[in-house]
Structure 1
C-alpha cells in the first residue's frame, strides 16, 4: 500500500496524475459498515448478492490488516475522515499484525482528528513511527495530545 499511488517524484506527470486520482479517497471502512451500506443504500438484482459482496469485502479487509505501513498522504482528509480511520485502526493492532508506520502527512487534520489519532495510538502497540507533517489545521492542543499518547514509547518516531 505504501507505493500504491505511483512514483514519489513531485512535478512529473505520473506523480501529478497519481495525486489527482488519490485525492479524496475515503478511509477504509469496517466490514460491518460495508455490510450495513450494502443492505441499506445499494440495490442488487439478486438480494443474496449482498451477503456475498459483504463477505468478499470482509475477506479483503482481513488481509489488509497485515500490512506494515498505511500511507494516506495528501488526500485532503479532515477530522471526520481521520475519526473514521481511527475506528478501524485497532484491527491493525490485533495479534500477528505488523503495522509499524502510519503516514497522514499533507492532509487537513485538526485538533479533533489529532485527538482520535492519540486515542488510536494508545491501543496500537505495533506502531513505531507516524508522520503528521503538513497538517496545518492541527493546533497545539492536538499536537500535544498525540505527543502525550506516545511519550512513554521508547524509540517512537513522531514527525509533525
Structure 2
C-alpha cells in the first residue's frame, strides 16, 4: 500500500541513485496516476532497469501508456507487467506498436484488461513481425474468435514466442481451430493456456489433430491447458488419442 507517494519516492531513487537495480515489482500497491507519472519520468534517466511490473494497482490506461511511451524511447525493458490497468483496444494498439519495434522485450503481461478482439488483432500483427517476445499473457481480456484468429495467423510466422496465455477469454471453437492451424506449422510454442474459453468438442478435435502432427523436432509444445471449457466425451477422446500419439506433449492440464 505504498500509493503514489511511495511510487514517487521509488521513482526519485531510480532517476538518481539506483544505478544497479535491474528489477522492480510493485504490484498491488494502490499506485495511481501520479505514481505512474513519477515512475515514467524516472525511466527517462535510468539506464539499467530491465524488468518493471506495475500491474494490479489503480492505474488508468493513460497512466500505463505513459510508461510505455517513455520505454519506447528508452528501449531497455526485457519484461513489462501491466495487468489490470484498464487498457482497452486503443491502448492495446499503441502497445502493439511498441512490441513491433522493440528488439529487447521478451515478456509482456497484459492480463485482466479489456483489449477485446480489436486489441488482440493489433497484438497479432505485432507478433507477426516481432522477433524477440517469448512470453505473452493476454488472459481475461474479452478476446473472441476473431482476436484468436489474428493471433493464430501470427503464430504461423512467429518463430520466437514460447508461452501464450489466453485464459478466461471467449475464443470458442472457431478460435481454437485457428490456433490449431497455427500449431500445424509453428515450431517454437511450448506452453498454450486456453482454460475457460467456451471451447467445445469441435475445437478440441481441431487441437487434437494439430497435436498429432506437432511431434517432430524441433516442434516443442509440451503443455496445453484446456480446463474449464465445454469439452465432452468426443473431444476428450480425440485429445487423449492425440496425447498418446504425440512424442512431445508432456502435460495436458485440467481435463
Q: What CA distance in whole angstroms lies between the structure 2 residues aligned with 1:154 and 1:77?
A: 25
* Bigger shift: residues 12-21 or 107-116: 12-21
C-alpha change, 1:19 and 1:133, in structure 2 (3 Å) is farther
- 1:89 matched to which residue of 2? 183
**TM score, norm. by length of structure 1:** 0.62
Does structure 2 conserve the Cα–Cα contact (< 8 Å) formed by 1:65 and 1:91?
A: no
For 1:84 and 1:101, the matched residues in 2 are separated by: 16
Count of aligned residue pairs for this structure pair: 118
The match for 2:209 is 119
Cα offsets for 1:24-55 (capped at 9, x unmatched): 25122537xxxxxxxxxxxxxxxxxxxxxxxx
1:78 is matched with: 172
The DSSP-based 3-state class of the residue aligned with 1:75 is coil
Q: Structure 1's 141 and 16: CA in aligned 2 closer, same or farther, altered over 3 A?
A: farther
Q: Corresponding residue for 2:236? A: 143
Give 5+ residue unaligned stretches, structure 1. 1-5, 32-59
> Structure 1 61/140 Cα, relative in aligned 2: closer, same or farther at 3 Å?
closer
Question: What 5-or-longer segments of structure 2 have no aligned partner?
Answer: 1-53, 59-82, 87-111, 116-140
The CA distance in 2 between the partners of 1:145 and 1:133, in whole Å, is 15
- Name the SS for the 1:115 alignment partner: helix
CA–CA distance in 2 between the matches of 1:147 and 1:124? 15
Q: CA RMSD in A?
A: 2.7
Question: For residues 129 and 20 of structure 1, do their structure 2 counterparts lie closer, same or farther at Cα, with a shift above 3 Å needed?
Answer: same
1:15 counterpart residue number: 84
Residues 87, 117 of structure 1: alpha-carbon distance in 2 compared, 3 angstrom cutoff: same
Deviating runs (4+, > 4 A) in structure 1? none
Q: Which structure is richer in relative contact order (CA contacts within 8 A, separation 6 or more)?
A: 1
